[in-house]
Amino acid sequence: MIKFIKNNKLFSVYTFLVFLVILIAILAPIIATHDPYESNMTNVLQMPSGEHILGTDKLGRDTFSRIIYGTQTSLFMTICLVILTATIGSLVGILSGYFGGKVEIVLMRLADIMLSFPGVILAIAIAGILGGSIINTIFALVIVSWAKYARLVRSLVIRLRNNDFIIAAKVNGTTTINILWRHILPNILPMIVITGAMDIGTMMMEIAGLSFLGFGAQPPTPEWGLMLNEGRQYIQTAPWLMIYPGLAIFIVVAIFNLWGDSLRDILDPRQD
């Protein structure tokens, strides 16, 4: 372990920061100094002070506590989104790449249709039709994001399906499910993990963007994009309402992006 850390210092640092973000989300009830949902109209739009270190919002709620709890919301939504997107896209890619023929034609044409639309615009349209909520936001982004994984996994499976060890498994009478589970999946899993890790920051930005536009998390949920939306009308009188949630998004997204890049270097050192 010590040798690994010494040989991969950047990855170790970024992994520590990722665990720190996760720890903040888990320990939010302990770290937060106030109830993030509790309104106090006598403390409306207070500047940062000893009692409220990041000030208060238009309803007198503690900004620091809402940002801390927002880590839970944003991280939960992002992880669910990445897992669902990677799972659905990978399943489609495996089926189309391994079986080929009509299965591949149908699934890949569907993926092409999804890739032909601007992703965020289509997600806004879907979320707008379904109505703003956390579940609908995740659903909308899964619909517009799975095709990338399907294309990637399909190309990987096509390169694997004619290899000698796959042919040998077929000759030995190995079932298709066992071939896919024991031979195909282990060989493509590192690339799926790399892609998913590098997508965490992007997905978090897209979730915050939809919430900012009113299609994501709804009041009074403490979510960073929603907090930016609520604070934009007070940008001149209470700039902390946008500065601190925006800073939280910037820091966490940067951490996950850097971690994803370093993870790629560890799992796939052939890439630059």
CATH code of the domain occupying 11-27+61-267: 1.10.3720.10
- Greatest CA separation for the chain: 77
Nearest-CA neighbor of 228 among 120, 80, 74, 124? 74
How far apart CA 257 and CA 191 sit, in angstroms, is 16
Residue with tokens 């023929």: 101
How far apart CA 68 and CA 213 sit, in angstroms, is 21
Nearest-CA neighbor of 75 among 204, 254, 209? 204
Give residue 268's pLDDT: 67
pLDDT (tens digit per residue) in 69-85? 999 999 999 999 999 99
| pLDDT above 70: percentage of residues in the chain | 98
Please report, for the chain, the start and end positions of each structural domain, with discontinuous segments joined by +. Answer: 11-27+61-267
pLDDT over 60 at 271, yes or no: no
pTM above 0.85, yes or no: yes
Going from the C-alpha of 257 to that of each of 22, 88, 111, 212, the distances in angstroms are 15, 22, 25, 21
pLDDT (tens digit per residue) in 6-32? 777 888 899 999 999 999 999 999 999
